[in-house]
Amino acid sequence: MSHDLAPSPKKPPYPVRLAQRLLENVKDPLGIPERTAKTYRYRRRQFGAARRFLRKEFRWETEWGNRKPDWWRRGFLSRSVTLYQLPDNDPSLYINDVQRYFRTKRMVNPHLQEVLNNKFSFFLLVKNLGLETDVVDLLGLHTRGHVHPFPHSNRIPVEQFLTETLAERSHIFVKPLHGAEANGVRSMKFADGKYRLDGKPSSIEEMAQWVRDFPRPVLFEAAITQHESQAYLNPHSTNTIRLLTMPDVTDDHTPFIARASQRIGSVRSGHIDNWTKGGLSANVDLETGKLSAAAQLPEGNDLQWFAEHPDSGARIQGHQVPFWEETKKLVLDAAHRLAFMEYIGWDIIITEQGPVILEANINSGMNVLQVHGPLLADPRAAAYYRARGVV
C-alpha cells in the first residue's frame, strides 16, 4: 500500500485549540497581533464560504417548504437532500456540497488547474498526447472584434467567419474559454438556406452581434455527428458521457474510472444535454456499458426516474452505449498520460467511428454522478478523497 498521500490530521476540539492559543499568548505576547490577524483571515474565509454556500442554495428558485435548513449544517444544499434521498441513504457516504464546492478544488495542483479550466489550452494539450482518437475540431477564436481561424494565421470579421464556416460545416458551437454548466454555449446552424441560433431562426448579423457582445473571448468548435444509437436517446442534443477518473492511492496510483453518467437532452435543456439546465442523467454500468433509468434535477421534493425518455418515449434503461470498451480505454489512456492532473471529469461524444474527447473539467459535476449512488461507497474513491483532505 502506498503511503505518500497520508490523510490530513484531524483538528483537536475547539476548547483544546482555545487553550493552546491562550498558552501561546502567554509565552509570546508580541506575537498576538500576527496570530489575531491570522484568525481574522481564517474567519473571513469561513464567512465568505458560508455566504457562497447560501447563494448557491437560493439559486434554486423554489418554495420555502422545499428548503431543508437543518441539513445546511451537515453541508448539504436542500436540493441535494432530495437528490440523494437523505436520510434514507447514509449521508456519510456522499461528498456533500461544502466538500464539493470548497474542497474538491484541491484535487488538481492550483498551478495546473488553468490547463483544464481553459478550453483552448486543454485543446492544445490533448492534441499533443498521442491518443488514438482526436479531440473535437477547434475552428477559431474570437477576441477584440475579429476571429482568428485555425490553422490559419490571419484574422477576419465575425460575419465573414460565420458565413464561410457555416457554408462549409452547416453546424458549429460557440463557447467561452472558461465556463461550467454550459453557460454561454450556443448552437449555430445553416440548413435549407436558413440560419438558426439555438434552434431558433436567426441571421448572420444577429449571431455575429452576440459574439461581439459577449464579454470574454469565445471558441468556435465543429459540431460532431453522434452515433445513431446515441441520437436515438434524444436527437435534438448531442448526448455526452461524463466519466470521472482519479488515481488509486491504495495501490500504485494507476488511474481508474470512479463513475460514468450518460447525459441526455430534454425539452427543458433545449439544444444541450446539460444536467443543470434540465437534462437527464443515466448511470453507465462500468462493466457492460448499459444504462440505468435516468434522473432529472428535481424542481421540488420529488426525485423522478425515467426508464423511457419523458419527451420522446425512447427506451433509456437497458440501452447499450456503443464503443464502450473503446471509450474506457481512451479515457484511461488519457488519464494515464495526464496523471499529474489526478482528478478529471471527461466529456465524451460517441460517433459512428468511436469515442471522441469533447473537453475535460476539474468540476466533475458531483450531483450528476452521485444521484446514482454515493462516491464514498467505493473504497478507492474514499481513500483518494481522504488523502486529499476532502473528507
Q: 142 and 256, same structural domain?
A: no
> Does the predicted TM-score (pTM) go above 0.85?
no
Asked if 264 and 309 touch (Cβ cutoff 8 Å), the reply is: yes
- Location of C-alpha cell 468511436: 354
What letter represents residue 326's amino acid? E
Of 222, 247, 266, the position where a domain reaches its end is 222
Whole-angstrom CA distances from 262 to 35, 291, 317 are: 49, 7, 11
- What's the pLDDT at 179? 66
Instruction: At 301, list the grid cell.
Output: 421534493
Decide if 159 is inside a domain. yes
- In which element (H, E) is residue 358 found? strand 354-361
With both helix axes pointing from N to C terminus, report the angle between 204-213 and 158-169 in degrees, rounded to the nearest 10.
120
User: How crowded is residue 39: how many other Cβ atoms within 10 Å of its Cβ?
Assistant: 11
Of 165, 194, 222, the position where a domain reaches its end is 222
Q: 361 and 277, same structural domain?
A: yes
Q: 364 and 286, same structural domain?
A: yes
Asked if 376 and 92 touch (Cβ cutoff 8 Å), the reply is: yes
- What's the pLDDT at 125? 83
Q: 170 and 128, same structural domain?
A: no
Rounded CA-CA distance 341/161 in Å is 35
Residue of 104, 111, 175 lying closest to 345 (CA atoms): 104
Decide if 65 is inside a domain. no
SS3 of 271, please?
Answer: coil
Of 222, 256, 289, the position where a domain reaches its end is 222
Rounded CA-CA distance 374/290 in Å is 19
We report the CATH number of the domain holding residue 289 as 3.30.470.20
Task: Look up residue 372 and give its DSSP letter.
Answer: T
Q: 363 and 303, same structural domain?
A: yes
Q: 143 and 121, same structural domain?
A: no
- Location of C-alpha cell 432530495: 82
Question: How does pLDDT run across 347-364, given as a tens digit for each residue?
Answer: 999 999 999 998 888 877
Instruction: At 190, list the grid cell.
Output: 445553416
Residues of 159-173 as b/e, b for ≥16 C-beta within 10 angstroms? bebbbebbeebebbb
- What's the pLDDT at 6? 47
- What's the pLDDT at 3? 42
- What's the pLDDT at 153? 74
Decide if 75 is inside a domain. no
Q: 202 and 310, same structural domain?
A: no
Decide if 261 is inside a domain. yes
Q: 263 and 195, same structural domain?
A: no
Instruction: At 280, list the grid cell.
Output: 437527464
We report the CATH number of the domain holding residue 212 as 3.30.1490
Asked if 99 and 80 touch (Cβ cutoff 8 Å), the reply is: no
User: How crowded is residue 285: how many other Cβ atoms within 10 Å of its Cβ?
Assistant: 13
* Residue 6, Cβ density class (10 Å: 0-12 exposed, 13-18 middle, ≥19 buried): exposed
Asked if 174 and 220 touch (Cβ cutoff 8 Å), the reply is: yes
Q: 243 and 128, same structural domain?
A: yes
Task: Look up residue 182 and give its DSSP letter.
Answer: T
Phi then psi dihedrals of residue 257, to 5 deg? -90, 115
- What's the pLDDT at 163? 94
Q: 337 and 287, same structural domain?
A: yes
Q: 253 and 147, same structural domain?
A: no
Instruction: At 111, list the grid cell.
Output: 498551478
- What's the pLDDT at 126? 81
- What's the pLDDT at 102? 83
Decide if 381 is inside a domain. yes
Question: How does pLDDT run across 22-59, given as a tens digit for each residue?
Answer: 777 777 777 677 767 777 776 776 676 778 888 889 88
Residues making up the chain, counted from first to last: 391
Q: Which domain holds residue 148?
A: 138-222
Decide if 89 is inside a domain. no
Question: How does pLDDT run across 112-161, given as a tens digit for each residue?
Answer: 888 888 888 888 888 777 776 667 788 999 998 899 998 777 889 999 99
Q: 308 and 374, same structural domain?
A: yes
pLDDT tens digits, the chain, 391 residues: what are they?
444 444 556 678 878 777 877 777 777 777 677 767 777 776 776 676 778 888 889 888 888 889 999 999 999 999 999 999 999 999 999 999 999 888 887 788 888 888 888 888 888 888 777 776 667 788 999 998 899 998 777 889 999 999 999 999 999 999 888 766 667 788 899 988 899 998 889 999 999 999 999 989 999 998 889 999 999 999 988 999 999 999 999 999 999 999 999 999 999 988 788 898 899 999 999 999 999 999 999 888 899 999 999 998 999 999 999 999 999 999 999 999 999 989 999 999 999 999 999 888 887 789 999 999 999 999 999 999 999 999 9
Decide if 2 is inside a domain. no
Domains held by the chain: number? 2
* Distance linking the first and last C-alpha atoms of the chain: 20
- What's the pLDDT at 2? 43
Decide if 14 is inside a domain. no
- What's the pLDDT at 28? 74
